[in-house]
Amino acid sequence: MNLSALSISELTDKITADGTINYLTGKKLTQLFNSFGSRDDYDTLIKEEKFGSRATYTKNKLQEINGTIHLKNLLEYLVDERNTDNSESVAEALNKILKYDGFCLEKGLDNIYRITGTDFPEEIKVNPVFEDIEKEIIQHIRSAQFLVWVAVAWITSRPIAEALYNQHKKGVNIRIIVNDDQLTKTNGIKFENTTIEYYKISPLNASYKNTMHHKFCIIDLKKVITGSFNWTNKANFNNENISVIEQREQGEAYAQEFLKLIKDIERK
């Protein structure tokens, strides 16, 4: 998100001068910008005479984060009703500036203001998990609103299977890919006995003629769970990990791979 020099100057006034936003002391300003990428210590800046005026500091900080996701997050923070008693008037004032750069703060159906307009990179969130992995996976499955697509070598974990089936009963689109091998035949969950969309892939029925050893799960096309953890009972006793990646671009990339895997494969 990139604003013109004039917009940065006008935004500086809104934050520091004209009363649109609740008055912030110099220390509060450093705390504000530290929440969006800066690493300043107010007392040190004052001691070294590097802070300057509130307006100068604010303008410099806005210029630093201009063109980054931090600027978007800052603007949305300023109109968050948890931080201000007059979010609508703040949004109106900011929109008079933002419109010249093709942006707008719009309130969604959830009554939360978000920046819309010219495309900008979506922030990616990655959360590594090393403990209670099965519980973490189940929690994310339960959070799904629209779809859960799973591609793992094996599923023998009954708690995970139950979470998937419960979501299926609620109407969430569940699609599962596993290996068509002896472990699945002897210990795997019998998803073929349900109406869940279920695929088994083996060297005998896959176009690429090798073992399917993916370990990923797509949730609502905006969240991906991936890592070393197999969805098996045994995996709970190993040193394993997963990463929870939240970004629509990543979700769609994994979804493309999922669709490639099931191409020309008959569901069970």
Confidence check: pLDDT of 173 > 70: yes
Same domain, 130 and 101: no
If DSSP codes are grouped into helix, strand and coil, which group holds residue 155?
strand
Please report, for the domain that includes residue 203, its CATH number: 3.30.870.10
Among 51-60, 86-95, 211-220, 255-264, the least confident range: 211-220
Whether residue 164 sits in one domain with residue 89: no
Q: Do both 35 and 74 map to the same domain?
A: yes
> Which of these three, 70, 101, 117, is where a domain ends?
117
Based on the domain organization, do 93 and 217 belong to the same domain?
Answer: no
Residues 84 and 132 in one domain: no
Given this model, what pLDDT does residue 96 score? 96
Q: Indicate whether 14 belongs to any domain.
A: yes
Cα dihedral 225, 227, 232, 233 in deg (nearest 10): -100
pLDDT of amino acid 119 = 62
Dihedral Cα 260, 193, 224, 143, nearest 10 deg = 150
Q: Is residue 218 domain-resident?
A: yes
Same domain, 165 and 227: yes
Q: Do 218 and 138 fall within a single domain?
A: yes
Residue 84 has pLDDT above 80, yes or no: yes
In a domain, 152, yes or no: yes
User: In the structure encoding, which two tokens stand for residue 42, read together?
Assistant: 């107010």
pLDDT score at 85:
86
175-211: pLDDT as tens digits:
999 998 888 889 889 999 999 999 998 765 555 455 5
Q: Which of 117, 135, 166 is the last residue of a domain?
A: 117
CB atoms within 10 A of CB 92: 13
Q: Which of 153, 98, 135, 148 is nearest to 120 (CA)?
A: 98
Task: Establish if 267 belongs to a structural domain.
Answer: no
Same domain for 76 and 142, yes or no, is no
Structure tokens at 182: 């002896």
User: In this structure, are residues 178 and 152 in contact, taking their beta carbons and an 8 Å threshold?
Assistant: yes
User: How long, in residues, is the chain?
Assistant: 268
131/237 same-domain check: yes
Residue reference for tokens 């509130």: 54
Mark whether 187 and 60 lie in a shared domain.
no
**Residue range of the domain that includes 9:** 5-117
130 falls within a domain: yes
Work out how many domains the chain is built from and give that number: 2
Give the tens place of pLDDT for each residue, 91-142: 999 999 999 999 999 998 888 999 988 665 667 899 999 999 999 999 999 9
Do 62 and 163 sit in the same domain of this protein?
Answer: no
CA dihedral 229, 233, 234, 236 (to 10 degrees): 60
User: Tokens 């010219």 — which residue?
Assistant: 118
Final residue belonging to a domain, choices 90, 117, 144: 117
Residue 255 counted as domain residue:
yes
Q: Is residue 268 part of a domain?
A: no
Please give the Cα distance from 26 to 43 (Å, whole number): 10
Residues 106 and 136 in one domain: no
The answer to whether position 166 is within a domain reads yes
**What tokens does 36 get?**
């969006």
